A and B are shown apart, each in its own frame.
Chain A
Amino acid sequence: MASRTITLTVDGVSYTDDVEPRLLLVQYLREVLGKTGTLVGCDTTNCGACTVLVDGESIKSCTMLAVEADGHEVTTIEGLATDGQLHPLQKAFNECHALQCGFCTSGMIMQSVSLLAENSRPTDQEVREGLEGNLCRCTGYQNIVAAVQQAAGEGAAR
């Protein structure tokens, strides 16, 4: 398969790589860049473990080809903290015990970033609906909702 050259920004760093056209964005992140903080939980775009931001909007990176990300800006969980300071959502997930095994956490936090960007003060029900595409098997979601609300209260959407 003829490879294609792509140039994109991931977590603030510009990369240029030759990739197979069929390579998924999540595979590019994990296998080419070594950004293993983004995880794969299913192969049907149901679980959301691989959620990242592309140009600020959340997307399941198993649903996007790497070549489609050419020229775009990708943010993963590894690029969320700035200057060593945790993002308010990262801090809230810890303080509210919004994670147990942690496997859904990267995607859940990235989806929450996107959710709060669209609705800075959601109701609990809006939080639940905003996270509908992200599965968690450990927490029953209650503390995830609490964490998103705590972060919203601290102005995470700024």
Chain B
Amino acid sequence: MTVTEEHAPEIGKARARKEDARLITGRSRYTDNMVLPGMLHLAMVRSPLARARITSIDTSAARSAPGVVRVLTGKDLTGEQGSMPNAWPVTEDQKAPPHPAVAEETVNFAGEIVAVVIARSPAAARDAVELVDVDYEPLTPVVDLATAARDEELIYPELGTNHSATWVFDSAEAGTGGDIKEAISAAEIVVERTFRQQRLIPAFMEPRSTVVDPTGEQLTVWSATQIPHILRVMLALTLGIPESKLRVIAPDVGGGFGGKLQVTPEEVITVLAARHTGKPCKYTETRSETMVGAHHGRDQIQTLRISAKADGTVTGLDVHLVANMGAYLGLITSGIPILGAFMYNGIYKFPAYRFECTNVFTNQVWTDAYRGAGRPEATFAIERMMDELATELGMDPIEVREKNWIQHDEFPFATVSSLEYDSGNYEAATAKALELFGYDELRAEQTRRRESGDVVQLGIGVSTFTEMCGLAPSRVLGALSYAAGGWEHAQVRVLPTGKVEVVTGVSPHGQGHVTSWSQIVADRLGVAFEDVEVLHGDTQVSQRGLDTYGSRSLAVGGMAVVAAADKVIEKAKVVAAHLLEAATDDIEFSGGQFTVRGTDQGVGFGDVAFAVFAAHDLPDGFEPSLDSDATYDPENFSFPHGTHLAAMEVDTETGQVRVRKYVCVDDVGNVINPMIVDGQVHGGLAQGIAQALFEEAVYDDSGTLLTGSFTEYLVPSAPDLPSFTTDRTVTPSTTNALGVKGVGEAGTIASTPAIVNGVLDAIRQFGVSDVEMPCSPSRVWHAIQAARVGSGAGTGHTGTGGEEARR
């Protein structure tokens, strides 16, 4: 047995994805594609009112309609449906109303389910929805967040308030920094601003769908979900079904972005329908139902005060949030703004920090995770504030950031919000971004346009960011009162032919885990990329896991895969030593070959695998299996960072905004597959830019969603977006052996403030100090007009550029 072939490294290679073969040929397996014998179809009756008491429901006409099998109301399910779970009670005195999957007595947002039609075809079910006669006694809806916070009209009188909880972090109390009051009273300058994080709709492309088959020994649930494992636990707890009798499968899932990080009423209802009828049941929502019934994201009012010295050194940050929960607390609704609490200090060395968030109910669909989940809100606010501070002090926005950021030689760095950043190099990422962007040239062009009074003014938007990824160390989640841990599981199974199956507890829905995990395992075990099969998303196959969200999959799930693969190698070394008649300690493993140190004697991974399968000649007491499990609980978060620069053109006559150039340099640590990483950044940028410029979920005063389809809710299409310049610096995470940090949310987090800062940089000269998101042509135009009227001619504040531009 001698050493033969070399194994070229897979990590770092831009491998085309394994997943694509099915998806580009239409052999996809999304939940709605599934058809089972005798399957019944559900359609939902949804409340048109945002707040009302249900006085009666007449289902007789629907029940006798052609093809209808059964109609269920909340009363039919009382005692059986429980209350939808909230896994994150952020304070001990958090208040929350009961949340039945089908409303029993009252409805609290327009779109809430009040009855369920079960029929033999989707069309029959939908037809019969029209025949269900619901009488409502309208109640006064509380739609506006600030109004709700004032507690004038109580949505749930029994709670005594619209406030769900108030959560506070104070660096003086925590011992992580100074006292904010002292910082502000001693400040040479204090800047206070209020920002509005508009409500967004995740708008994954695949509408949610659930199929439940009750005919087997286990109740099998297929669902368009990011979280099959969490869903299984939560369905068991909510419905009192033994967890061992539930199998949950997330087949192909068409995007999530946090929007499918939920245990939904629709999932619970489909389980109950299958239980009631004894037949497989399917529910697939229409897009209009997604818009009104699936959770939204963001929706906060942020008030920040920053104190600083006259040279731009920040001395303290005080953050007050009012966060819109909507009508109920979903799975982690209450924790989303709290995830941001640790990120308002961004990449900076702020000596004092206080954060206070009040969670408030309104009569709107509940909010919950949406790409970034708390961290985009925090990053937007602090990056807007750094620009405001720069403006007040007459400094360049880069300069004020440089003055405050953590230097590369100061890592690991204990932050004022109690985190420990393990690594980073903000100087390097920023320098690279400035060079790619042509910062000085664009500043010169900006000056020329101002001086010539060009109708189209140029603005330069700067944003830096870091985020806490790799959710999460279980002990930290425990300290934050989250109901579960943050570990991840993997299993590596070695087949007789030397091929490898990898089972992962994360649950991809577009992120390319199958490809990336194959690359990791190929390198770790020295097997071919093609010889690794990655299995996921089925609780019968992937028996343990905590699923995919929060840029955790690689930093946590990938590490579990590494740990399991390393256990395989340790077992295989014992067999290799036996076969080579050497001591185990003398066996080295590299490139798929076990060799005896200092000799050319070796045996390949495949030969060892077959020897273990045959089990004819193994060391005494050796259990004939190389298969290994690992559960990895991270010791710390990971902290990707980056610098994003946007050149924004604003037509001062129409308010039209154009992204002329977008450069980002992200540091996500080591990269497994650069093509996948770039793809994640592109998509993230698109969503962050969409918040800045296009998207907003708008309710009218009665609580009706006005942006209830893609006609009104402006998900950007191809011509709305530029081609991005993306690049990287690589500062490996020191927390995990792969040196990876996470990339799923980076683009979304950093791009929104870059864009808005750029828009403002173009039109501050006219006296504009803020434009609410989304910065639509109408908003931008009105801001310019209002500033011109407000400041008046001749104050000098708007400068000549504004007057010139008006011509």
- A interface residues, Cβ below 8 angstroms from B: 20, 22, 30, 34-44, 46-47, 49, 76-78, 80-81, 86, 90, 93-95, 97, 99-106, 109, 124-125, 127-129, 131-145
Contact = CB atoms under 8 A, between A and B. Distances in A.
A60 to B, nearest CB: 12
B513 to A, nearest CB: 11
A98 to B, nearest CB: 9
B255 A133 contact: no
B789 interface: no
Interface of B: 16-17, 19-28, 30, 32-33, 35, 123, 203-207, 252-257, 286-288, 509-512, 675-676, 678-679, 682-687, 709-711, 715, 717-719, 721, 723-724, 747
14 contacts: A37-B28, A41-B207, A47-B710, A77-B26, A86-B24, A95-B16, A97-B678, A101-B204, A101-B256, A102-B19, A102-B22, A128-B718, A131-B717, A135-B205
Contacts of B255: 100-101, 103, 137-138
Given A95-B16, A101-B255, A135 B24 contact: no
The A interface, classified by DSSP as helix, strand, loop or mixed, is loop
A140 B710 contact: no
Contacts of B30: 36, 39, 103
Contacts of A42: 207, 287, 709-710
A139 B682 contact: yes
A74 B715 CA distance: 29
B178 to A, nearest CB: 41
Given A97-B675, A100-B679, A143-B679, A40 B719 contact: no
A133 B683 contact: no
A24 to B, nearest CB: 10
A132 B28 contact: no
B717 A90 contact: no
B111 to A, nearest CB: 15
A133 B288 CA distance: 18
Nearest to B18: A94
A101 B719 contact: no
A99 B511 CA distance: 10
A36 B286 contact: no
Given A97-B676, A105-B23, A142-B723, A43 B205 contact: no
A140 B719 contact: no
Nearest to B709: A44
Contacts of B16: 94-95, 97
Contacts of A142: 682, 721, 723-724
B718 A102 contact: no
Contacts of A99: 20, 23-24
A101 B510 contact: yes
Contact of B26 (A97, A106, A135): A106
B676 to A, nearest CB: 7
Contacts of A124: 723
A144 B718 contact: yes
A101 B254 contact: yes
B26 A137 contact: no
